[in-house]
């Protein structure tokens, strides 16, 4: 592969308001910043990468330490520090470049935020726009035009599938009405991702989580679907690391059994707080790791604790780190799903490329991913119009799935086609 020298960097930000306060991880968001960067190379190529910032996801302590605006500004500052650091760098692999800069940037991010025990996810989120731009620059320099060809040889097997269907996890936030949940089922959605970990003490959290599951299951239990082998709708839960211990989780699952919801649970994402190292192999339901895996070492740790699935989040934790996690999952034959970060429409297809390339989920025979921007952004229609292929069949949900055809794979979901709207954010200065 060609050696690439970065000769110019720039950045921009767009603040996108949400329709309503969006609750998860014990907090609430009102807007999400779209972090956009521009890289130029010595050989005359350039690339525009983007990411959706979510400080609440990255580190809830940073989010709670200041205003929502200031928290976003702190993450954007980390991005700009990284851009300054890589200007003039030579590289032949985005993965190697990121590995080189992360240790020092992590220390700088601690200084910028004032949080000594900063969650590394904060840094990965801040680097995601740069990582995307590095991959696009790498592709341009090496005449690559498909996602499959962009993946380095050691990782190709893990990302070699071409799923024809991607099941969409429909996100159910703390405050979504039951009517809206039922409407989603009527519109064909058949996997419901239920946000658990309500704000409050562990006992308050569990009580509210149990009440919420009861309401949801009561509304959905009689609805059937043709998309699953059993005809049942499925649930996934995501506590975003809010449960203190296995005992608390088992009380929740016991309640699920009592009301008849347990057999509908496909998996439970990231239930425990960061310092919990309990083995989950005896819980009786598939437990998936998300926030707690940032590196290959983390992935092996979770495997040893009985975690049976990985949640890939290339749009939040960089494609470079995600590729490594996907390989470990493939090597150990455990399934992967792709989770969202309420990202913009173009990033939905970055995420979709990964969901399309990993092995299909065993009990469904298709990939699984979450996307919830359409239900949360105030200006989603305008944002969607900036996608290179906004009306393509594969770009729009049909009966709870994305249907992927040859055109999708030829165009890689449009990630290599940077719309003029984003190019105009970086017009040459006079």
- Give 337's strand partners: 311
Query: How confident is the model over 51-89, as pLDDT tens digits?
Result: 999 999 999 999 999 999 999 999 999 999 999 999 999
Cα–Cα distance between 39 and 6 in angstroms, integer? Answer: 7
* Secondary structure (3-state) at 283: coil
Q: How far apart are the first and last CA of the chain?
A: 35
Q: Which CATH architecture has domain 4-143?
A: 2-Layer Sandwich (3.30)
**Contact present, 336 and 349 (Cβ < 8 Å):** no
Spatial contact of 33 and 317, defined as CB atoms under 8 Å apart: no
pLDDT digits (tens, 9 = 90+) for 218-246: 999 999 999 999 999 999 999 989 999 99
Contact 339, 268 (CB under 8 A): no
* Encoded tokens for 128: 């995601």
> What is the mean predicted confidence (pLDDT) over 124-140?
98
* pLDDT score of 175: 87
pLDDT exceeds cutoff 90 at 22: no
DSSP code at position 394: G
Domain 4-143 matches domain 153-420 at the CATH topology level: no
Instruction: Check if the beta carbon of residue 239 is closer than 8 Å to that of residue 271.
Output: yes
Distance CA 57, CA 28 (A): 11
Q: What is the pLDDT of residues 110-131, one digit of tens each?
A: 999 999 999 999 999 999 999 9
Q: What is the mean pLDDT of residues 256-272?
A: 97
**394, 388 in Cβ contact below 8 A?**
no
Calculate the dihedral angle through the C-alpha atoms of 312, 315, 318, 324, rounding to the nearest 10 degrees.
Answer: 20
CATH classification of 153-420 is 3.20.20.120, yes or no?
yes
Task: Give the DSSP letter of residue 427.
Answer: P
Question: How many whole angstroms separate alpha carbon 236 and alpha carbon 264?
Answer: 9
Confidence of residue 291 (pLDDT cuts 50, 70, 90): confident
Q: Is 410 helix (H, G, I), strand (E, B) or coil?
A: helix
- Is residue 306 helix, strand or coil? coil
Q: What is the per-residue pLDDT across 335-353, written as a single tens digit (0 to 9) for each?
A: 999 999 999 999 999 999 9
Q: What is the mean pLDDT of residues 360-366?
A: 95
Chain mean pLDDT for the chain: 96
- 181-223 pLDDT per residue, tens: 999 999 999 999 999 999 899 999 999 999 999 999 999 999 9
Taking the model in full, what pTM does it have? 0.95
Give the confidence band of 430 by pLDDT, cuts at 50, 70, 90.
low
Alpha helix positions (H), 171-232: 178-186, 202-220
Sorted by where each begins, the domain ranges of the chain are 4-143, 153-420
Q: Whole-angstrom Cα distance, residue 136 to residue 130?
A: 10
């Amino acid at each position: 592969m060609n050696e690439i020298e970065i000769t110019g960097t720039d950045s921009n930000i767009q603040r996108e308001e949400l329709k309503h306060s969006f609750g998860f991880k014990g907090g609430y968001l009102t807007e999400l910043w779209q972090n956009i960067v521009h890289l130029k190379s010595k050989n005359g190529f350039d690339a525009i990468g983007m990411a959706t910032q979510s400080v609440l996801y990255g580190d809830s302590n940073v989010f709670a330490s200041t205003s929502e605006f200031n928290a976003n500004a702190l993450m954007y500052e980390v991005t700009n520090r990284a851009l300054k650091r890589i200007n003039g760098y030579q590289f032949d692999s985005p993965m190697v470049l990121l590995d080189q800069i992360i240790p020092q940037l992590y220390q700088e991010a601690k200084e910028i935020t004032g949080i000594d025990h900063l969650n590394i996810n904060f840094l990965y989120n801040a680097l995601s726009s740069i990582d995307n731009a590095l991959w696009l620059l790498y592709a341009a320099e090496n005449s690559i035009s498909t996602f499959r060809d962009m993946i380095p040889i050691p990782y190709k097997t893990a990302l070699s599938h071409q799923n024809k269907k991607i099941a969409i996890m429909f996100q159910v936030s703390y405050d979504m009405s039951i009517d809206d949940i039922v409407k989603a089922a009527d519109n064909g959605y058949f996997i419901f991702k239920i946000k658990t970990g309500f704000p409050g003490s562990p006992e308050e959290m569990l009580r509210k989580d149990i009440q919420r599951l009861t309401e949801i299951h009561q509304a959905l239990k009689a609805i059937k679907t043709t998309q699953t082998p059993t005809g049942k709708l499925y649930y996934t839960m995501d506590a975003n690391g809010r449960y203190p211990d296995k005992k608390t989780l088992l009380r929740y699952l016991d309640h699920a059994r009592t009301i008849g919801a347990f057999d509908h649970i496909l998996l439970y994402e990231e239930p425990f707080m960061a310092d919990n190292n309990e083995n989950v192999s005896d819980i009786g339901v598939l437990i998936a790791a998300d926030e707690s895996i940032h590196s290959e070492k983390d992935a092996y740790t979770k495997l040893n604790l009985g975690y049976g699935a990985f949640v890939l989040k290339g749009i939040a934790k960089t494609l470079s780190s995600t590729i490594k996690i996907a390989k470990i999952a493939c090597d150990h034959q455990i399934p992967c799903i792709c989770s969202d970060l309420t990202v913009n429409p173009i990033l939905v297809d970055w995420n979709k490329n990964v969901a399309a390339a990993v092995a299909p989920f065993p009990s469904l025979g298709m990939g699984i991913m979450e996307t919830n921007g359409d239900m949360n952004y105030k200006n989603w229609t305008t944002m969607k119009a900036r996608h290179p292929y906004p009306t393509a069949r594969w770009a729009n949900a049909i009966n709870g799935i994305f249907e992927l055809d040859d055109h999708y794979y030829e165009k890689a979901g449009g990630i290599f086609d940077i719309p003029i709207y984003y190019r105009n954010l970086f017009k040459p200065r006079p």
